[in-house]
């Protein structure tokens, strides 16, 4: 019986050690989440307004100005930018993003996927590892962006996509990321990155118009890349905050599960201990009875 008690004691110690780790990881993620949440909260209104301006400019300037990044053509080659995390232990965060990216390729670009004309640009180690190991065409230049996340690093990835599109090496670029809502809620999103989306024209309604200075051509050539850089940076910041929120939630649940397991193990330990004591008492009583007999 002592062997059974020792085994339960070892399991209790193991669960307690694991619980200490999960609690520490939750606290670390909570601290990182606050900074990441502040960054995306400040960035989001600016990025959304820029996207709105960009869509209006493209819609109102159609046919007037040469806009390579808004050119719609027959889609032969596609790239999907996917923002995952560098580390795991964040519940289903990474697996859900990878699943969505594959679903976008399968549903939206089935012919291109069958021909091998869909490539992935992962931002984050987990996405890079998955697509590399499973035989997909992968752009391996930007997966480590979260190591010292900065606008310049994200801008380099956006420029790579824009240059490939402008040179007609790509005909469409999709962005898959997790939009941060709160620590417990992430919305997995897929949106068109290139060509630049146009505002749908409503009959009888005029789209917003702008006064351009210097010229429309010069301003658009300068403005479109900057807004696309901002759009990708916003998606990356969203992903960064979502990762920490998902990990905090996952570690909180893991700590709760450890508590439940500890309760169960302690009950098992007490039962085994009581059984051992009962057995010892029975042996003592039997021994005493034998001596008296």
Distance between CA atoms of residues 131 and 189, nearest Å: 19
Burial track 247-278 (b if 16+ CB lie within 10 A, e otherwise): bbbbbbebbeebeebeeebeebbeebeeeeee
Question: Distance between CA 188 and CA 93 in Å, rounded?
Answer: 9
Taking a C-beta distance cutoff of 8 angstroms, is the pair 236, 177 a contact? yes
Contact status, residue 84 vs residue 122, Cβ threshold 8 Å: yes
- Residue 97 exposure: Cα atoms within 13 Å on the Cβ side: 35
At 204 the three-state DSSP class reads: coil
List the catalytic residue out of 90, 98, 158, 220: 90
> What residues have CB less than 8 Å from 268, skipping those under 6 apart?
8
Give kind and range of the element (H or E) at residue 205. none
| Gap between the Cα atoms of 184 and 257, Å rounded | 17
**Angstrom distance (rounded) from CA 94 to CA 124:** 10
Q: State the number of CA atoms in the 13 A half-sphere of 170 facing the CB.
A: 25
Active site residue 90: yes
Going from the C-alpha of 82 to that of each of 158, 200, 247, 293, the distances in angstroms are 12, 26, 19, 83
- Active centre residues (catalytic): 90
């Amino acid at each position: 019986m002592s062997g059974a008690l020792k085994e339960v004691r070892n399991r209790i110690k193991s669960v307690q050690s694991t619980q200490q780790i999960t609690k520490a990881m939750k606290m670390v993620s909570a601290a990182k989440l606050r900074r990441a949440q502040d960054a995306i909260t400040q960035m989001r209104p600016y990025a959304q307004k820029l996207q709105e301006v960009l869509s209006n400019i493209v819609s109102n300037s159609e046919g007037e100005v040469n806009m390579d990044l808004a050119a719609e053509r027959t889609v032969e080659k596609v790239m999907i930018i996917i923002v995952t995390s560098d580390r795991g232990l964040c519940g289903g965060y990474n697996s859900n993003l990878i699943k969505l990216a594959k679903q976008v390729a399968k549903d939206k670009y089935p012919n291109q996927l069958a021909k091998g004309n869909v490539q992935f640009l992962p931002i984050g180690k987990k996405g890079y590892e998955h697509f590399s190991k499973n035989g997909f065409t992968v752009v391996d230049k930007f997966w480590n962006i979260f190591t010292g996340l900065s606008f310049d690093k994200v801008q380099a990835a956006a420029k790579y996509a824009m240059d490939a599109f402008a040179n007609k090496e790509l005909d469409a670029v999709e962005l898959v990321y997790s939009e941060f809502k709160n620590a417990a809620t992430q919305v997995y999103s897929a949106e068109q990155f290139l060509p630049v989306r146009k505002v749908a024209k409503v009959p009888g309604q005029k789209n917003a118009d702008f006064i351009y200075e210097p010229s429309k051509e010069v301003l658009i050539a300068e403005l479109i890349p900057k807004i696309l850089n901002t759009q990708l940076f916003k998606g990356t910041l969203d992903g960064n905050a979502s990762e920490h929120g998902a990990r905090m939630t996952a570690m909180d649940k893991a700590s709760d599960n450890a508590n439940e397991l500890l309760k169960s193990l302690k009950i098992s330990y007490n039962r085994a201990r009581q059984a051992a004591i009962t057995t010892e008492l029975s042996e003592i009583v039997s021994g005493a009875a034998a001596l008296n007999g």
